[in-house]
């Protein structure tokens, strides 16, 4: 009995430690309030001075300051007895509130949207129909809808004949994934395409169809999208149209039909033993075995479709045959895809008379940037480069997108159904430009220099600016997490990781101290990040809970484009592993550029 009483007392003691202490403003915040207040009150006029001088909002007017007051009144943050100004408590709550975000507010889409779509990074999905892993998960329109609602602008569909050969399914071929009908996917794309953004949706098709089913697809597409479908006037586009000119339009991108017929011929030859096997996973014998298990062949699915594609103009007889069998399908293809014969030198040739899309696997890109880095940058100034995950990512994981972005690749295709740091970077990049799914590439990726030179991300460059970051404190976990989530018997021990993802010279991660037993950690630490290419830099923020015996617990993350950060003291909302915003969890930070 005594033992039970002792246990009860210990548990009661621990339970008391879960009580939340009131958040106190850091000393620097209190000093700022003293500087911009009189008799303990910050008036509208003094708030305007604070916005201009400390928050670096040079154009902030008295009306802007009054709007802050009005917002605080609506949110019931201002005490009714202090209508003339902010108390320290109200000022602190304002700084820590959603109405004080880290990125430029209310600017929406602020970049020039009238350039060719090849001038933009585009939010791109890979195998957009999969609900989970690449081997056995269900195929559905649900992940497509979710992706569109997050602002994804490129949806990938793998299209195959159904079991009876009279209809078209979407599935990951030669795996155990269960199919979904193409028509259902198309109808869901139409319904949800423009809920998050009005800018065009590109549908990339991995085509495994016979000509008669291609004709059926053409009918489905035209019936579903109607006048909203963009179809070019000529066989090839000389230049891509702009996102602005294609608002609320749909674009089809795939290889022209004759390339499919040629690819099938090569595939058939391979089955007969005349095609040399390729280890496209670059992971040795285990990679070969896994790829074989997945696809029933020793080739990755995307490489089966694109690696051995012959040149688009190779065979006029095949061209005539396709014109007879599925001309209506070919006419729908606005962005032509394909590699052509030969190696990288041929793939990356820039044709002054037409533009196209090239696809490279993750390992292909990693090799190509070593030998053809500048050629890739030059190619992407006019043409579109799509990069997709390597075949052994059967768990739907992703790769580092910065390698592709720093070389100008527009369509960095990601598995959106998973989570992880790579996906956090992707989500962070496309928080820019109002979250419309199109982010203008920096000028140095679009233009050649005076001596026809192009940007080289591996060259050491001088520091262009330095980002100074102060991590004051965090709060909100007490409300968004179960009180025993991090530790069964005591409050959490939080630390923050702060860093930059960008070109190699700028990439770094740093860490605050760990604060024990505190739901409201007050780190109050400063960091500096010298940046050589701030235009491509993303600020990474993670909070973890230290665990001595097991893996540290995840406490939230955010990723923000440095180019859109607001100077001053800002409330940074944190997100879950999958990118869903927490209701309450935030970190109070200060950003300065020097």
The residues annotated as belonging to the active site are 126, 172
* C-alpha pair distances (Å), 593 with each of 47, 462, 564: 22, 16, 12
Pairing of strands 411-414, 120-125: parallel
Residue 56 three-state SS: coil
Residues 6+ apart with CB under 8 A from 369: 376, 403, 407
Question: What φ, ψ does residue 451 adopt, rounded to 5°?
Answer: -110, 25
CA–CA gap between residue 100 and residue 94 (Å, rounded): 7
Strands (E), 349-436: 357-361, 384-388, 411-414
- Residues whose CB is less than 8 angstroms from the CB of residue 364 and which lie 6 or more positions away in sequence, other chains included: none
Residue count (the chain): 594
**What is d(CA 376, CA 291) in angstroms, rounded to the nearest whole number?**
28
Q: Max CA-CA distance within the chain? A: 94
In angstroms, the Cα distances linking 104 to 7, 100, 339, 564, 594 are: 53, 10, 40, 6, 18
Helix, strand and coil in the chain, % to nearest 5: 35, 25, 45
Relative to beta strand 568-575, strand 581-593 is antiparallel
Secondary structure (DSSP) of 343-373: SHHHHTPPPTT---EEEEEHHHHHHHHHHHH
Residues 6+ apart with CB under 8 A from 119: 440, 441, 446
330: closest CA among 261, 256, 231?
256
Q: Residue 588 pairs with which residues in a beta bridge? A: 473, 571
């Amino acid at each position: 009995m005594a033992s039970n009483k002792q246990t009860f007392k210990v548990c009661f003691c621990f339970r008391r430690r879960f009580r939340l202490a009131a958040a106190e403003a850091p000393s620097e915040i209190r000093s700022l309030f003293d500087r911009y207040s009189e008799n303990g009150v910050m008036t509208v006029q003094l708030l305007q001075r604070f916005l201009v001088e400390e928050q670096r909002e040079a154009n902030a007017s008295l009306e802007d300051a009054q709007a802050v007051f009005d917002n605080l009144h609506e949110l019931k943050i201002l005490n009714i007895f202090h209508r003339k100004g902010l108390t320290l408590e109200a000022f602190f709550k304002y700084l820590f509130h959603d109405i004080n975000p880290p990125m430029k507010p209310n600017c929406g889409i602020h970049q020039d949207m009238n350039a060719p779509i090849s001038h933009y990074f585009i939010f791109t999905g890979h195998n957009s129909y999969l609900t989970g892993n690449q081997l056995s998960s269900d195929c559905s329109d649900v992940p497509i809808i979710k992706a569109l609602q997050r602002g994804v602008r490129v949806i990938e569909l793998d299209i195959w004949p159904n079991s009876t050969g009279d209809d078209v399914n979407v599935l990951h071929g030669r795996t155990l994934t269960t199919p979904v009908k193409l028509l259902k996917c198309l109808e869901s794309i139409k319904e949800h395409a423009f809920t998050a953004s009005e800018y065009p949706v590109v549908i990339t098709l991995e085509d495994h169809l016979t000509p008669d089913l291609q004709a059926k697809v053409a009918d489905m597409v035209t019936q579903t999208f109607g006048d909203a479908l963009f179809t070019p006037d000529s066989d090839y586009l000389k230049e891509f149209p702009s996102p602005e000119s294609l608002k609320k339009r749909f674009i089809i991108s795939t290889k022209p039909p004759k390339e499919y017929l040629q690819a099938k011929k090569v595939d058939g030859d391979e089955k007969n033993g005349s095609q040399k096997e390729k280890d496209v996973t670059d992971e040795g014998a285990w990679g070969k075995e896994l790829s074989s298990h997945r696809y029933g062949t020793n080739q990755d699915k995307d490489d089966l479709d694109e690696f051995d594609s012959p040149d688009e103009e190779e065979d006029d007889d095949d061209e005539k045959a396709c014109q007879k069998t599925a001309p209506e399908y070919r006419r729908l293809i606005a962005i032509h895809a394909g590699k052509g014969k030969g190696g990288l030198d041929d793939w990356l040739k820039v044709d002054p008379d037409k533009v196209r899309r090239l696809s490279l696997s993750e390992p292909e890109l990693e090799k190509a940037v070593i030998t053809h880095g500048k050629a890739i940058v030059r190619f992407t100034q006019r043409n579109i480069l799509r990069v997709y995950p390597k075949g052994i990512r059967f768990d739907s994981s992703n790769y580092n997108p910065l390698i592709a972005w720093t070389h100008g690749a527009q369509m960095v295709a990601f598995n959106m159904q998973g989570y992880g740091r790579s996906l956090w970077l992707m989500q962070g990049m496309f928080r820019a430009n109002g979250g419309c799914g199109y982010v203008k590439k920096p000028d140095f990726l679009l233009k050649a220099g005076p001596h026809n030179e192009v940007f080289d991300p591996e060259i050491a460059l001088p520091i262009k600016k330095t980002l100074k970051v102060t991590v004051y404190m965090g709060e909100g976990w007490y409300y968004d997490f179960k009180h025993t989530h991090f530790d069964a018997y005591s409050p959490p021990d939080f630390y923050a990781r702060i860093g930059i993802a960008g070109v190699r010279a700028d990439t770094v991660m740093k860490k605050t101290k760990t604060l024990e037993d505190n739901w409201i950690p007050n780190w109050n630490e400063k960091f500096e990040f010298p940046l050589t290419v701030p235009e491509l830099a993303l600020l990474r923020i993670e909070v973890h809970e230290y665990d001595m015996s097991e893996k540290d617990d995840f406490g939230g993350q955010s990723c923000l484009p440095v180019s859109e950060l607001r100077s001053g003291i800002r409330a940074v909302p944190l997100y879950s592993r999958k990118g869903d915003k927490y209701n309450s969890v935030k970190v109070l930070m200060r950003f300065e550029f020097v």
